[in-house]
Amino acid sequence: MHIEFARFSPADTEALAAFLTGEEWPYHVGTQDPEAIRRRAAEGGYDDEETRTFWILADGRRAGLVRLQDLADDTPLFDLRIGLPWRGLGLGTAAVVWLTAYLFTELPQILRIEGTTRQDNHAMRKVFRKSGYAKEAHYRQAWPAQDGTLYDSIGYAILRDDWLAGTVTPPDWDDEQPA
C-alpha cells in the first residue's frame, strides 16, 4: 500500500465534514456537527498559523486525517483519525512517524510533541510505542465518553533529542522523596 499525506485546503471542506461525521469515533469526545466543521474550516481552524491538517492517502484514497495543533508553541499536539476500513493496516504508525519527522523538520522551535489517548485505546497506545513516544502521564478518570463513563487518559511524548538519536528516554517515575 502506498501512503501519502496531502495538506487540507478549503476546497476539501465538504469531504472533511463527510469524513468526520460519516462514522463513529469511539475514542474522541463529543459529536461532530457538519455545520460546525464547515464554520471551523471557513475560520481557518483546520489550516492556519496554529494548525495544519493533512489527509492520509492510501493508494490515492482518503483513509485518514492528521490535525497538527499548537504549532506556535514548542510542544504541539495532534489528532489522528483512521477510517474504519483502514484500521489495523499500519496507517496509524505511518502517520505518527510522518508527523513526527514533519514537525521536527519543518518547525525548528519544537522541542517535543505530545499526544493523548484513552486507556482502552490499545491500538493507539501501540502506535505511540512503535513510533518512539514515551508514556509520560496517566490521568485517572479524566476522559469522559459520550455515555458519561470516565476513562483514564494516557499521555505520550517524544523529545527532539530522542527522535534525532533514535532512542526513547522514559521519565523518572520514582523521583519522589519519602514522606
Domains and CATH numbers, the chain: 3-165 (3.40.630.30)
pLDDT of residue 175: 86
pTM of the model: 0.93
pLDDT digits (tens, 9 = 90+) for 77-119: 999 999 999 999 999 999 999 999 999 999 999 999 999 999 9
pLDDT digits (tens, 9 = 90+) for 37-52: 999 999 999 999 999 9
pLDDT digits (tens, 9 = 90+) for 122-175: 999 999 999 999 999 999 999 988 888 999 999 999 999 999 999 999 999 888
Cβ neighbours of residue 122 under 8 Å, at least 6 residues apart?
Answer: none
